[in-house]
Amino acid sequence: GGNLGKRLYLRVSDLCANNAKPKVLETATLKEVIVEISKSRLGVTAVVNASNKIIGIITDGDLRRMLENMDSLLGVTAENIFAKNPKTIGSSVLAVEALELLRSNDISQLLVEEDGIYVGVLHLHDLIREGIV
């Protein structure tokens, strides 16, 4: 029962340790946001303050909707795009609990934090790869 065992002990930090940690400040330009989301292949970037505390999230879907709805992209910054109060999860939480949070919110990624400080991204693919799903 390898996968059952994993469900009992694997933590969020075990799954996302090797992931990129995309992040931007709310003052980031639209180009900086796009570059940050694109280079990580996670489809998302955290928006953090100067203390690395999570203040929001921007997904590739948010970007697409913004591009469809805005007439001009001049001067657009992360502040104009990001969703406040993103779903987050503690790095020490069991992976199986992370899966429940993803499913119940119908989302594919969670921002990972320790005491409110941004430490990474957990993607549904990380759970699939480890056989948690």
Give the chain's domains with CATH numbers: 2-129 (3.10.580.10)
Per-residue pLDDT, averaged over 65-87, amounts to 91
Tell me: pLDDT of 59 over 70. Answer: yes
φ, ψ for residue 2, nearest 5 deg: -60, -45
Tokens found for residue 111: 């921002």
1: confidence class by pLDDT, cuts 50, 70, 90: low
Task: Output the pTM of the full model.
Answer: 0.91
Average pLDDT over residues 70-74: 84
Number of H helices, E strands in the chain: 7, 6
Sheet with 54-59, edge to edge strand ranges: 23-25, 44-48, 54-59
Give the mean model confidence (pLDDT) for residues 9-29.
Answer: 95
Q: 2 falls in which pLDDT band (50, 70, 90)?
A: low
